[in-house]
Amino acid sequence: MAAGTSNYWEDLRKQARQLENELDLKLVSFSKLCTSYSHSSARDGRRDSSDTTPLLNGSSQDRMFETMAIEIEQLLARLTGVNDKMAEYTNSTGVPSLNTALMHTLQRHRDILQDYTHEFHKTKANFTAIRERENLMGSVRKDIESYKSGSGVNNRRTELFLKEHDHLRNSDRLIEETISIAMATKENMTSQRGMLKSIHSKMNTLANRFPAVNSLIQRINLRKRRDSLILGGVIGICTILLLLYAFH
């Protein structure tokens, strides 16, 4: 029965690790899609002003975004279900020491799930913001071009509008670069957090082992003292018997 429950726990852990690996790859691709979308938007803004199409590949990227978002949400839901099953298993486990180790492992998987969920929602929000801003800029650009082509007056005002538009595009580019740097920093911090968690887990394991080692050493010392007392008693009795024999 214990072997069966242990295999059930290991199967859940394998499922959790597999889903976490798939989510990690999906989130990296999702982040790259967001970055490529912003870069293509920046390049599109520097095209000739007579071309008023917002994005050449916008519709395909939007479809890809929606597909990947659905896939990631499904993976997150599956990983949440596995974590819930692991929680049910730990609640049904009767051995306190084993239950503590299982709870520690479960907490690590929950932290990973929380990090992936936060990263997904953040990347999704950034992508949506970039897309909405690009649509807004495309509408403004069309209005400017329509105004410029529809009237032969106010050229100076149109030129100012275009310059202001260029300034906005440059500001957007700087913001996108800052977001990319922040995302790279976040990935590094997540990696460092994983390393610190691993070190912390190893330290806890060593700390849990030390009491057992101390108990073993105390038992060895007690046995040594008992053996010394027995040996001393035997030697004393033998000495007394020798003395009695010698004097009689």
pLDDT tens per residue across all 248 residues of the chain: 455 566 888 899 999 999 999 999 988 888 888 777 665 655 555 444 444 444 445 567 778 888 888 999 999 999 999 999 988 888 875 545 567 788 888 899 999 989 999 998 988 888 888 877 777 776 666 656 665 555 554 566 777 778 887 888 888 888 888 888 888 888 888 888 888 888 767 766 765 666 666 677 778 888 888 888 998 888 889 888 888 878 76
Place of tokens 């070190």: 199
Instruction: Tell me how crowded residue 168 is: count the other CB atoms within 10 A of its CB.
Output: 15
pTM over 0.75, yes/no: no
Can you state the angle between helices 155-247 and 2-45, rounded to 10 degrees? Answer: 150
Q: For residue 228, is it left (φ>0), alpha (ψ between -120 and 50) or beta? A: alpha
CA pair distance 102, 172, nearest whole angstrom: 47
Domains annotated on the chain, with CATH: 1-40+58-146 (1.10.287)
The CA-to-CA distance between both ends of the chain, in Å, stands at: 71
Q: Are 186 and 119 in contact (CB under 8 A)?
A: yes
Nearest to 126 by CA among 33, 64, 204: 33
Convert 78-140 into a string of H (helix), E (strand) and C (coil): HHHHHHHHHHHHHHHCCCHHHHHHHHHHHHHHHHHHHHHHHHHHHHHHHHHHHHHHHHHHHHH
